[in-house]
Amino acid sequence: MDKLNLGKHISGQFTAELTAVMSKVLAMGGLVERQLADALTAIQENDTQLANSVITADNKVNQLELEIDAACTQIIAKRQPTASDLRLVLGVLKAISDLERIGDETCRIARVALKTFDKDQEHLLVSLENLGQLVLAMLRQVLDAFARMDEEAALLVHQQDVKADRQYEALTRLLMTYMMEDSRSIPKIMDVMWSARALERIGDRCQNIAEYIIYFVRGKDVRHASAEVIKNTAEGAS
């Protein structure tokens, strides 16, 4: 967390509060990352016990969001942070909202693992593997970038979302082809399609967190900006 400059404050308590908040955010991120990894494993291995543990873990994710939100509210009320400190607190509030929603999406994925697929339908689940591993890598990388407030690493994650979107679109077309070939498989294909949609949304959430990192480091809100503007901002170009 070297870019956070948490040691600069006159109040040691303020520094401690910011450090504690960041530690909780990273703990929440780690838990969500584990949820996603386990949800993907549960689908590939038809592991209902693991799927249930993913769903159960969402309660802890929700609780962490509440705790971090309360801590940030208290910091704003007590410390009235300005400049980069305020950007950090605002970035944290936005990031935990996205992390909580990623947790919700992983639960949707895990619930598919609780359903029964026939042998001739298992290939539908395998089709999720490539997109799932790409999105999981994005989540890991953006959490690492958030821990270090590394805008260059955040930019790389942001750019990867295009690849995730393309994989999602290709997978959707493939699943629609399966539906046309065998109408009896439509309910199962829809389950897989909703899982793919959940993965695509997780990729979008990772992209959001990358934007918060750039906002903290550069002081410029790049939401809704073009890819070129975001790239120039992250690289410090004028």
Structural domains of the chain, ranges and CATH numbers in brackets = 2-234 (1.20.58.220)
* pLDDT at residue 11, as a whole number: 65
Cα(46)–Cα(158) distance, integer angstroms: 32
* pLDDT at residue 4, as a whole number: 64
Q: For 125-163, what is each residue's pLDDT tens digit? A: 778 899 999 999 999 999 999 999 999 999 999 999 999
Which structure tokens are listed for 89?
Answer: 């607190």
pLDDT mean over 216-237: 86
Q: For 192-221, what is each residue's pLDDT tens digit? A: 999 999 999 999 999 999 999 999 999 888
- Residue 147 CB contacts under 8 Å (≥ 6 apart), including other chains: 1, 22, 26
Which sign does the torsion angle of CA 92, 97, 99, 100 carry? positive
pLDDT of 188 higher than 80: yes
pLDDT of 8 higher than 70: no
The residue whose two tokens read 């929700």 is 62
* pLDDT at residue 223, as a whole number: 87
Identity (one letter) of the amino acid at 204?
D
pLDDT mean over 88-105: 97
* pLDDT at residue 3, as a whole number: 63
40 falls in which pLDDT band (50, 70, 90)?
very high
Average pLDDT of the residues of the chain: 91
pLDDT of 92 higher than 80: yes
27 falls in which pLDDT band (50, 70, 90)?
very high
